[in-house]
Amino acid sequence: MLVLVAPGQGAQTPGFLTPWLELPGLADRLSAWSDVVELDLIAYGTTADADAIRDTAVAQPLLVAASLAAAEALGAKPDLLAGHSVGELAAAALAGVITPEQALALVRERGRAMAKAAAVTKTGMTAVLGGVDVLEALDKHGLTPANINGAGQIVAGGTLEQLAAFKEEPPVRARLMPLSVAGAFHTVHMAPAVEELRRAAEGLTPQDPGVKLLSNADGAVVTSGAAFVERLINQVSNPVRWDLCMETMAAEGVTAMIELLPGGTLTGLAKRALKGVDTVALKTPDDLDAARELTK
């Protein structure tokens, strides 16, 4: 059983789209999608520096477009789909809940709304790798476990002052890694973005997914397109439970995982939490052959 997964914000790196532009039709596709998101996706994916693509309003459309383009190049028919955070929009499009263009229009507004919310207070996120009594330590410093990713990884979100205090008093045996994001996503700090996203989604008529589609809220398989879009909206200010998504993958009998562009993070988690599952992360077009082998 094959699952396709789409990565979330922070997976982007400067120039990651460059080798993909050599694939027939991909540059034209990205150019058309650039009009939808009102950004030059090709420039941001090839020549822009790390600071430019860290901007939430840029990173989110760039990531969704990259995942959709890579999925089109791959041409696989998965049994299961899931996306991490903003990657859920790519997963929704691939499942047929919304069209790719609708996903990109929605992520354009999502990115803008979350960037606006992030500008209100200086916030950030830090990955906590390993450690003892991590949730208790987060609570002590007023931080939110914004991503519970499984495999010993929790991402803390909060103000920069809270994160600095947490760094000075980390959990025992934990390694802290600040993330390249512009705010504390999936926390109360993103609440203003929820209603903006809900307004942006008012004109949508979601279709029920054509394949099994997992939700970040609780790892459940969601069979209603309308319910999935509502979950997408609320997820902006609620924690991502990727650990529960992986539990569902295991329960469903997943044997292979392909992580869409820019891959690496989610397959890394799967290697630790989903033992025996074959994984391929799409980083360059050279990875397509190995990914296609998993679909056979």
Catalytic residues: 85, 186
Listed in sequence order, the residues at least 6 apart from 45 whose beta carbon sits closer than 8 Å to its beta carbon are: 15, 16, 17, 18, 30, 53, 62, 66
Phi, psi of 263 (to 5 degrees): -80, 165
- 15: tokens are 């120039």
The radius of gyration of the chain from alpha carbons, rounded to an integer in Å, stands at 18
The tokens 């459940």 sit on which residue? 220
Q: What is the dihedral of CA 245, 58, 211, 249, to 10 degrees?
A: -20
CB 9 within 8 A of CB 85: yes
Listed in sequence order, the residues at least 6 apart from 288 whose beta carbon sits closer than 8 Å to its beta carbon are: 73, 74, 282
CA distance between the termini of the chain: 10
CA 158 – CA 185 distance, rounded (Å): 9
Beta bridge partners of 177: 127
CA 189 – CA 119 distance, rounded (Å): 10
